Structure 1
Amino acid sequence: MQILFVFLALNIGTVVARLISLIPISDFKILFMIPYVAQYSKITPYLAGVLILMLISCVQDDDYSIPRSLGIEENRRLNELLNSSASAISISQLKQLFVPGETTEIVSDLYVKGYVTSSDASGNFYKEFYLQDAHVNPTAAIKVVLNQTFSYNQFNTGREVYISLKGLYIGEVRTNDGVIAIGGISNADNEVEALTAKQIPNHIFRSATTETITPLNLPLSLITNKHIGMLITVNNVEFIPSHVGKPYVEATADFDTQRSLQSCAGFNYFYFGLETSVFADFKQHILPSGNGSITAIVSKTFNGSSLVLVLNDLNGVNLNNERCTLLNPANFSPLMSENFESSTNNANVNIAGWTNFAEAGTRVWRVITTTDSGNPGSKIASMGAFNSGQPSNIAWLISPSINLDAQGVEFLNFQSSNSFSDNSELEVLISTNWDGTTGNISSATWTALPAAIVSDSEYFQNWVDSGLVDLSVYSGIAYIAFKYIGGHNASNTIDGNYEIDNFKILVQN
């Protein structure tokens, strides 16, 4: 509790009106206003009196510790939800209810549980927080928009939170921003808006549990839309030279500033944005020059055009090592390569040792000649689901076998491009237990490789280098696979094209 005395020597009517308009009544338990008017000398004719204002309040002081126990009302409402007929739904299942360009009202009696990953304590998030489905190794996350500031005092990082979904909406805060959110209402533009102050206590319940969130370790090249809302750590990163020494936010910015991170990816750099709000309390801190790790939330730019990282605070920045150095191509020679130039144009990929297989649908990888300015006149392997007439298209293109024990360290390298990828997916995988038969592809163990793959937001004529993907942790006979996942659904949202070229397995000389 705090007792605050305010002495004001002003016109009492004006003071009272101003004070009443400024005081957030919800913050105060008791409000005493004791007016006292005294007559002053002729030297101060404009001063009419003194207002003594005593506020007995529960205003937050410098101790921002999170309450360990819940209030009686919070406990009651959470217990009522858990003991009701409402059914639990996972964050992944909830996100499947999202329809692009629309909002969906939850009419069934459902609830979802998650763990808070973001914090608005530093001002870098505003009237929102993210939930992921587990505090270790999460598989899905979602945004919650609510009309509440300083929500970290209640929904702190790691807090286990339950949301009663009936009557709420799933959608995007801004159409096509690519971030699925839980909101309280739907507006005329088919966008979700924040849960109101009255909705919050009836729908969002915290438990007494706060877990330590273990960040998901990812290279920049493997961050995708499925990681939006998750807390991740990226290693071997640094700010690009032209941004080093600048503040996180430009002094002239009205809203956000995006700075560029880079990581050494073999012969080239891989780049990714880090975005900071003008309201962040660390906005004028200077970007460090070293290399190291950054722990942050995966999010998107305001218009959804690209993925970015957003810091909870500066504790997530640990760039104290020497900057990285690119490798010299002259120090490597090819063990295996395929540029598709000897293949028949406009025909299915049919190359000795390669496997071209449709797991779902009938479409497989084809050879075409690209007119892209980034790779003009080159034959490439292409796969897309547009106009397939099939809701699911999964196509594999698998390399010949590679004996990883027959030479020194091997590296994978290739280039990729897209043609309006429309949320279809391309995965680059390795297996050391596949037997080479199509019937056993799905039963083999396939592990994702940290290759840079072209993103949805990349200009369709550009080609992205994968970087050098180190295969030294694998041994025995291995296969590299390009797995396309998409389909021609009714809304044409997962039917884009992916293209690859210049596949190489390199060894160091």
Structure 2
Amino acid sequence: MKKNILKSIFLLAITSILLASCVKEDDYVLPTTRVPFYQEEFQDIQHDTNLDLTGWTNYAEVGTKLWKERIYQGNGYAEFNTYGSGDAVNIGWLVSPGYDLTGYENPKFCFQSAQNFVSSDENKLQVYVSTDYDGVNVLNATWTEVTAKIADKNTTGYKFIPSGEIDLKAFENQTIYVAFKVTGSGTNTSLDGLFEVDNLYIYTSK
């Protein structure tokens, strides 16, 4: 389901380098080296439990479903699956800790996403950035949706795809929060697909 060739290399390296999958869809072709100053690979998790990593917010806006910690072949990732929830609507947010961009010129971020059983554009994963999230009240924050390549009904099931580089220049010298929001349904079979997120990296291109 996932290819993690470079993860083993990272464990042997003194510092982590930015995955090529952040900038192109080929499987882990080494790019010009980038050193992320923040990263989340979802490795310090427990399989099939509600995601509760330190600093992260796991919030159900509508319905009962929360993001889950999942492990496949030793590799962790976050998953939101509405199947079997019994809720007509499920909206779940996964919000990162605050990332301080002070002093980082021309910051960017990237991640990977995957889907399975998604058959409708209404069953979707969206990505947002906020600078005024208080760490508790998700819906009170101002969220700016960012443009990224995200897994949808047209992508291969369970195959992680790169988001491409997402420009954070507008947020320089501020603390940002990154949010992943899924909309789906546990009763409408055309909206009960699942989404997965992995390998979040924030870095500078200089």
TM-score (norm 2): 0.80
Q: Is the 8 A contact 2:115 2:196 kept in 1?
A: yes
Q: Is the 8 A contact 1:409 1:507 kept in 2?
A: yes
Matched residue type, 1:444:
A
The answer for the alignment partner of 1:337 in structure 2 is: 39
The answer for the alignment partner of 1:19 in structure 2 is: none
Q: Is the 8 A contact 1:266 1:469 kept in 2?
A: no
How far did residue 404 of structure 1 move?
A: 2.2
Matched residue type, 2:197:
I
Q: 1:436 & 1:501 partners in 2: Cα distance?
A: 21
1:421 aligns with 2:85: no
1:379 aligns with 2:81: no
Q: Is the 8 A contact 2:22 2:110 kept in 1?
A: no
The answer for the alignment partner of 2:5 in structure 1 is: none
Alignment of structure 1 residues 390-401 onto 2, 5 Å: 390-401=87-98
1:362 aligns with 2:64: yes
How far did residue 365 of structure 1 move?
A: 0.6
How far did residue 414 of structure 1 move?
A: 0.9
Identity of aligned residues (%): 32
1:495 aligns with 2:197: no
How far did residue 377 of structure 1 move?
A: 4.2
Alignment of structure 1 residues 200-239 onto 2, 5 Å: none
Flag the structure with more relative contact order, 1 or 2, with Cα contacts below 8 A and sequence separation at least 6.
2
Matched residue type, 1:496:
G
Larger Rg: 1
1:451 aligns with 2:153: no
Q: 1:412 & 1:422 partners in 2: Cα distance?
A: 28
Describe the SS at the equivalent of 2:171. Answer: coil
TM-score (norm 1): 0.34
| Correspondence for 1:404 among 97, 101, 106 | 101
Which sections of structure 1, spanning at least 5 residues, go unmatched?
A: 1-264, 271-326, 371-375
Q: 2:60 & 2:128 partners in 1: Cα distance?
A: 16
Q: 1:406 & 1:354 partners in 2: Cα distance?
A: 23
The answer for the alignment partner of 1:479 in structure 2 is: 177
Q: 2:90 & 2:53 partners in 1: Cα distance?
A: 22
The answer for the alignment partner of 2:202 in structure 1 is: 505
Q: Is the 8 A contact 2:184 2:191 kept in 1?
A: yes
Q: Is the 8 A contact 1:393 1:486 kept in 2?
A: yes
Q: 1:360 to 1:329 in 2, by over 3 A?
A: farther
Q: Is the 8 A contact 1:451 1:466 kept in 2?
A: yes
1:267 aligns with 2:32: no
Q: Is the 8 A contact 2:22 2:111 kept in 1?
A: no
Q: 2:141 & 2:196 partners in 1: Cα distance?
A: 24
Deviation track 1:198-248 (CA, whole Å, cap 9, x = no partner) reads xxxxxxxxxxxxxxxxxxxxxxxxxxxxxxxxxxxxxxxxxxxxxxxxxxx
Which sections of structure 2, spanning at least 5 residues, go unmatched?
A: 1-20
Runs of 4+ that moved beyond 4 A: none
Q: 1:492 & 1:461 partners in 2: Cα distance?
A: 18
Q: 2:179 & 2:186 partners in 1: Cα distance?
A: 22
Deviation track 1:97-128 (CA, whole Å, cap 9, x = no partner) reads xxxxxxxxxxxxxxxxxxxxxxxxxxxxxxxx
How far did residue 269 of structure 1 move?
A: 5.9
Q: Is the 8 A contact 1:409 1:508 kept in 2?
A: yes
Deviation track 1:61-107 (CA, whole Å, cap 9, x = no partner) reads xxxxxxxxxxxxxxxxxxxxxxxxxxxxxxxxxxxxxxxxxxxxxxx
